[in-house]
Amino acid sequence: MRLFLDTANIEQIRHGVRLGVVSGITTNPSIISREGKVDYQSLVKEICSIVPGPVSTEVLSQDAQGMIAEAREIAKWAENITVKIPASLDGIEATSVLAKENIKVNLTLCFSLNQAILGATAGATFVSPFVGRLDDIGEDGMKVVADIAQYLCYYQLPTQVIAASIRHPQHCLAAARAGAHIATVPYKVLLQMIQHPLTDIGIKRFTEDWEKVMGAKSIDPGKL
Ligand code: G3P
């Protein structure tokens, strides 16, 4: 399972890329607005120049023609742009048109296998079930991810499922077990994924044992 970062914050993106584990970015209008009143195009172009993979950027129109016009414009901003289109009827129409023009679409606000089936059939590159938001209303978000992953695999379709609206590290584990191609995670969750108290205790004990005998906290590379 690949990891994308669900953020438009440049520092967080730079750190994720530096770690070598982030291969794409997803944004939405709420995420962009968290960065303040920014120049949308400049911010997205900067993100695209930092990240070596797809950068999902959402349209704001709600009718098919508006979405198509916006998507064609956004797609010119960088080579690695993926346009986020909502899983509405107009969104499916827009996805069909854009896919034929080789514009990559991430079908967003996807909450059911039926929506994903329509998105994949229309030619979406990615479909993004929102796990946390389904869990919020008492449904099983990860079951939708698992159903979509199984459906795409069974019919050997090229569309990839992105587990989105990830809220905590347990969601990452479940997404991997459900067969998601990608999980898009908030920066906070990315940092939480590496945490384990036994790792911290182990590092401390190794250092102390070494220091007791060798009298130094680290190895001098020059003396190896
Ligand atoms: O990737 C979708 C995500 O940004 C939505 O997350 O936490 O607002 O449901 P959330």
Atom 4, ligand 1: residue with shortest CA distance:
165
Q: How far is CA 100 from the centre of its chain?
A: 24
Pocket probe for ligand 1: among 4, 6, 111, 139, the residue whose CB has the most ligand atoms within 8 Å is 6
Mean pLDDT taken over the chain: 96
- CA atoms of 88 and 146, how far apart (whole Å): 21
The dihedral built from the CA positions of residue 109, 115, 120 and 121, taken in this order, carries a sign that is negative
| pLDDT attached to residue 224 | 64
Query: In which residue ranges of the chain is pLDDT below 70?
Result: 223-224
User: Which amino acid belongs to residue 144?
Assistant: V
The dihedral built from the CA positions of residue 33, 34, 36 and 42, taken in this order, carries a sign that is negative
DSSP code at position 222 = G
| pLDDT attached to residue 149 | 98
The dihedral built from the CA positions of residue 65, 67, 68 and 74, taken in this order, carries a sign that is positive
The pTM assigned to this predicted structure is 0.94
What would the two tokens of residue 105 be? 């679409």
| pLDDT attached to residue 192 | 98
| pLDDT attached to residue 222 | 73
Atom 2, ligand 1: residue with shortest CA distance:
165
Q: Which atom of ligand 1 is nearest to the CA of 31?
A: 4
pLDDT one-digit tens code per residue, 10-28: 999 999 999 999 999 999 9
